[in-house]
Structure 1
C-alpha cells in the first residue's frame, strides 16, 4: 500500500483551504464525491478539481496524473447549463 500524501485543496469561491490526506491510488472521483457530500452543490452545479490549470480526470488516480505530496489543487463549483 502506498503512503498517504497531503494535498492542499483551495476553494477560492468560498475563501477556504483544505489540507487533505489521500492515498495517491485514490480515483479523483472519490474525492469529488466526498466534497459533494460536504458542500451540497445545487443540482445544476458540478465540482471540478484542477491541478496546474488542467482539470483532473475523475476516472484516473491522483498518482496517474502526477499529483504528489504538497500539491495544490483548485476546487471549483461550476454551474452547468443556464443562461
Structure 2
C-alpha cells in the first residue's frame, strides 16, 4: 500500500439528528462517499444527497484533499428533495 493516510471526518446529518465518524482516504472523490450514503440511507429517487463543508457544497467530482478537507473536519450531510413534494 502506498502512503494511504486515511483521515477521519465527522459527517453531521442534522435532519435525522445523526453523526457519523467516517474514515476516508483524502484522494477519494466526494461522489464515492455520497454513493455509500445512498446505500446506507436508501433515499427515494426524488432525493439528492449533498455534502457541505463550511457552508459550501463539496464538488462530487473533486477529491476531499482538493477541497481542503482535513482530519477532524465536520461535513454536513443534507438530503434534498428534487422537484416538488
TM-score, normalization by structure 2: 0.95
Give the alignment's Cα RMSD to 1 decimal: 0.8
| Aligned length in residues | 83
- Alignment correspondent of 2:41: 39
* Aligned-partner SS, 2:21: strand
Q: Report which of the two has the higher share of helix.
A: 1
Deviation per CA, 1:37-73, whole angstroms, max 9, x where unpaired?
0000011000000000000000000000000000000
1:64 has 2:69 as partner:
no
Structure 1 unaligned segments of length 5 or more: list them: none
TM-score, normalization by structure 1: 0.97
- Alignment correspondent of 1:75: 77
Q: Would you identify which runs of 4 or more consecutive aligned residues in structure 1 move more than 4 Å?
A: none
